[in-house]
Structure formats: C-alpha cells, structure tokens
C-alpha cells in the first residue's frame, strides 16, 4: 500500500503524533525477531540462521500489508454502517472475503 493510498484513512485511525515510515505506515515492525523465531520454530526451522534477512524483511512487509489492508477495509465497512468503531465483524468479513480466512471460533 503506497503512502498516498494510506494517508487518506491513516489520519483517521492513527494519533496525530504517530510516526509513519517511508510507505506511509507506522515505522515499527509488526513482527519482531522473537515472533519471527517462534514462527520459524513452529514451522520446523531451528536456530537464528533459519530465516535469511531477505525472508525476515519479506515476512515483515507481508504482515504489515495484511494488517493495514484489513484495518483500512474494516474501517470502510464500519463507516458504511455509520459506525465510528472498527468492530470484530468488519475485520472478520474482510478476512473471509478478501483472503478466504475463516478464523477458528469466530463467526
């Protein structure tokens, strides 16, 4: 998601003092090293060398994209329903329709 596409809704969702990165999204990675290592171990990879720097960067970008796209789409659905709150149903609807994800134990 490019900065120009993000900026139209990011201002509504983020505090005024939020630090945005070069792509118009928050600068902090959503998946830190510890989380990536846990995921790698769960997938059967062992040790710190199990993920290349390129793979780490790609996973961080994919996570960032998925979360921001989901928040943006959910926010549009909420506004369409005249709500000022991003509700669970809006997030679930986006994940189900856009990504085919049905979360266990959820609607």
The predicted-structure confidence for 36-63, as pLDDT tens digits, reads as follows: 888 888 888 776 557 788 888 888 888 8
Q: What's the pLDDT score for residue 1?
A: 38
Question: Looking at residues 69-84, what average pLDDT do you find?
Answer: 89
Q: What's the pLDDT score for residue 48?
A: 53
- 46 in helix, strand or coil? coil
For residue range 3-39, list pLDDT tens digits in order. Answer: 334 444 444 555 555 555 555 555 566 777 788 888 8
Q: What's the pLDDT score for residue 81?
A: 87
Q: How many CA atoms lie within 13 A of 70 on its CB side?
A: 19
Tokens standing for 25?
């999204």
């Amino acid at each position: 998601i490019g900065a120009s596409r993000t900026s139209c809704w990011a201002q509504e969702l983020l505090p005024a003092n939020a630090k945005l990165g070069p792509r118009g999204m928050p600068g902090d990675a959503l998946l830190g090293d510890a989380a990536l290592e846990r995921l790698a171990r769960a997938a059967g990879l062992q040790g710190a060398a199990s993920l290349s720097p390129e793979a780490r960067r790609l996973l961080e970008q994919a996570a960032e994209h998925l979360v921001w796209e989901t928040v943006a789409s959910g926010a549009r659905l909420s506004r369409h329903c005249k709500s000022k709150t991003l509700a669970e149903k809006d997030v679930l609807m986006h994940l189900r329709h856009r990504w085919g994800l049905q979360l266990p134990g959820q609607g």
